[in-house]
Structure 1
């Protein structure tokens, strides 16, 4: 198994990105108890996040499309991102395409079904995400085959 960095990986969406997209609603990240209107995350779980700096949006681009960000496109080409199988999500930026181990199966689900955690639609992610390898019987403290740490 390859050696992977212990960068913070979000246990829900699998991103190592700590920058909110430019289109993200303003939020005081120091204030506990707030819920993100985009993915439903709570502020107390996201002390490592920061707002995206003000940038001009290029012609033909949208502030909601992280795929057009020149920084993000470089991030997914880094060795750690390649090991995590990162792709660019237009909402959260670099993110692993592997669903968490406890994620319900998406195969055969109604494409309009919405994830209760992230509000993502099943149809939007069809063919873009895969199930996590089985962790049944894994020893205490075992290394995750996706993120490379316990």
Structure 2
């Protein structure tokens, strides 16, 4: 059979290319969610699916393969990571100049609202405030709780 006479064979092939303009998550996407819980849970599900694609097929559980609507409970780790991801995206967007200075180990601009707070970037990439609590010999979670308690009193 001659392929040039077959009506199902198209002589031209089209391809598409997608590119992104930013590597940042962007907090504008967060406004689509009605509550903090729905946002964190949706992002936790995406984290769950992304981890599946990173795993070797032999390590995946039988019910979780590729894109799926998972019936399993959201893990504490996935929920914590989703919260950190959201906070990081908002901080990076709001305090991009401060992030740049801290990464380069430069002093913050004089007009920065964070300058007096002795900010630093923690192991998760989040902006934290320094001061005397920063120098305490405590776990980061304990320092965060103490900072929160001090700010509410």
Q: TM-score range by the shorter chain?
A: under 0.3
TM-score (norm 1): 0.25
TM-score (norm 2): 0.25
Relative to its length, the structure with more helix (as a share) is 2
Q: Give the number of the structure whose alpha-carbon radius of gyration is greater.
A: 2
- Higher RCO, 1 or 2 (CA under 8 Å, sep at least 6)? 1
